[in-house]
Amino acid sequence: MIVTILVIVLGVLLLLGLIATAASVRVLREYERGVIFRLGRLLQQKGPGVVLLAPFLDRMVRVSLRTVTQQIPPQEVITRDNVPARVTAVTYFRVVDPNKSVVEVQDVLAATSQIAQTTLRSVLGRAELDTLLAEREHLNENLQKIIDDQTEPWGIKVTAVEIKDVEIPEAMQHAIARQAEAERERRARIINAEGEAQAAAKLGEAADVISRNPVTIQLRYLQTLLGIGSEQNSTIVFPLPMDLIGPFVKAVNDQAADARAPLPPEAGAAPDRTGNRPPSGAVPA
């Protein structure tokens, strides 16, 4: 009878020992840390590896040090130029001080999400639509800095904030498309004008070179004839220099001018009975 009682007592003690051991031994992974409270008082953090706790006296809170990816819910934003937009973003943060992340804030994820949402609406509300669409990198840096400053007392380090998507009304999308098309047309006209200006400058330089050596223009004529002859054309044009045909054109113009000029009346010609002067070369009767 006594032996049976001793066996039962030993079994109970062994069971209590196993329960106490299970309650006092914790295993933390490499990316985990343990925040220890002994009778409500904060102790030094422990981990990674095996952590021994005082049974029924210590309480441990596991804290992960890995980077957390948290998506910010879509936010309705009105930009500085009064354009409504729906913006979604994502934040990347991690715990750098496990003690502060447990003691200073109740829920790290919820608190960081709320801070990110309010900061996103505040920063993007001060930016114009063009800035929101074209300068996302600059806005991301501003968001990251502001959120990180606010979460630093909680032992949280915000490593990055990225704006994922910006949705704008359909009418505004059409307006932006028309603006982009007009901008492309403007650039095309500027490029064409610059090309014509450069071509004119090069032609002026070529004309200066040719004017100093007339033989070069003859070579240019030969090259033109060679280019025309290489194509299957039924019409061949022979360019002639103006200095060669200029005298002939001047002579033809002079003859035409002499033919159109009126003949002057002869001096001393007496008028006939009708009062008219005889024509030039006529012999009076």
Residues 147, 103 within the same domain: yes
Within-domain flag for 39? yes
Q: In the chain, what are the helix, strand and coil shares in percent, each to the nearest 5?
A: 55, 20, 25
Within-domain flag for 235? no
Within-domain flag for 244? no
Residues 98, 141 within the same domain: yes
The predicted pLDDT at position 228 comes to 67
What are the CB-based long-range contacts (under 8 Å, 24+) for 145-149? 146/119, 147/91, 147/112, 147/115, 147/116, 147/119
Domain range enclosing 130: 68-168
The predicted pLDDT at position 4 comes to 81
The predicted pLDDT at position 262 comes to 65
Within-domain flag for 255? no
Residues 191, 153 within the same domain: no
Distance CA 149, CA 158 (A): 9
Within-domain flag for 232? no
CB atoms within 10 A of CB 46: 18
Within-domain flag for 192? yes
Residues 160, 72 within the same domain: yes
Which CATH number characterizes residue 121's domain?
A: 3.30.479.30
Residues 59, 72 within the same domain: no
Residues 72, 162 within the same domain: yes
Contact 3, 21 (CB under 8 A): no
Contact 164, 92 (CB under 8 A): no
**Segments in the chain below pLDDT 50:** 267-270, 280-285
Residues 138, 182 within the same domain: no
Give me the phi and psi of 184, to 5 degrees please: -65, -40
CB atoms within 10 A of CB 35: 21
The predicted pLDDT at position 16 comes to 78
Residues 43, 81 within the same domain: no
Residues 27, 96 within the same domain: no
Per the structure, the count of domains in the chain is: 3
Residues 110, 141 within the same domain: yes
Residues 33, 79 within the same domain: no
How much is the pTM?
Answer: 0.60
Within-domain flag for 101? yes
Contact 159, 92 (CB under 8 A): yes
Contact 97, 88 (CB under 8 A): no
The predicted pLDDT at position 6 comes to 78
The predicted pLDDT at position 58 comes to 86
Residues 60, 113 within the same domain: no
User: Where is 131: in which H helix or E strand?
Assistant: helix 129-134
Within-domain flag for 211? yes
